Chains A and B, each alone.
Chain A
């Protein structure tokens, strides 16, 4: 268990305390905060077992490398608007088709964390409007 201290706006804390008191009764603020933290982590897919967390940490490192190179890749017509694969901090493949690129790089390097993304200025967005996924 970790003990931590955070700074919160007075008014926000007052309103939060009032809501918790009204909905949960006294001395439940900790419980609500822990639940909010857990939901935050879960919604982002990080409430996973150790092996998955290991994969995620490795993919985040590759993503970091991709973001550092992104502007340079955008300026290069070979990569711009294409999918690239980043492994051990370097671009190890590119293709117009992400499926083909994934097949190629996994075949070459094994089924290991390799970051694959499109070379565009922003992040890729998808719409999943099913209301049941509101808490994705």
Chain B
């Protein structure tokens, strides 16, 4: 086969473009780019969390920390324990984000429950709105991500997030947060936190998949998002969420 110089340049150019696209996605997600079969436009990711099913074991926080190499003292996901006594403000704790679980309750006569938290991957994300250079964005499949190669580290997004889900990574000096395990979900896997939840309290859902159980769940169950008055379009829905939870 004869290959002209022009063909060589064309081929080289194409390879260069592909390589650079791959490199960018790799940098964004922290791992290899999505598989070829994955089409962003076919998905719209979120999560359903059943408060009644969470036992506060902290498996999710540990799995996330390991999977994503989360720096010590910061959290992409964590679990809070609420203890509520009638007529009093709730007592809330999350020792080390529940990485080591929780100590036993001191009182057993109070209403108590666990609330797993993570980025809500909002549709109208205040964090995305305020980023001065657009380094944080909503991906076409509904995941709020940070381009680590572009983030200035101004931390306006940290201030704008109503849920406390962002932090400045002490090594990269860029803002870091839950990626909904983008490197996993784009390969057909679930997130590390969902995979390691022993009770199935956390469930990754795809709103664009007509066969996803989320549709039946939303039709038959009462659900709520955190701080609905913030109107952020949160896509992490909670079942059996108490009104005291913030």
A and B from one assembly?
no
Please give the residue numbers on chain B whose beta carbons come within 8 Å of chain A beta carbons, in ascending order.
none
Residues of chain A at the chain B interface (Cβ within 8 Å): none
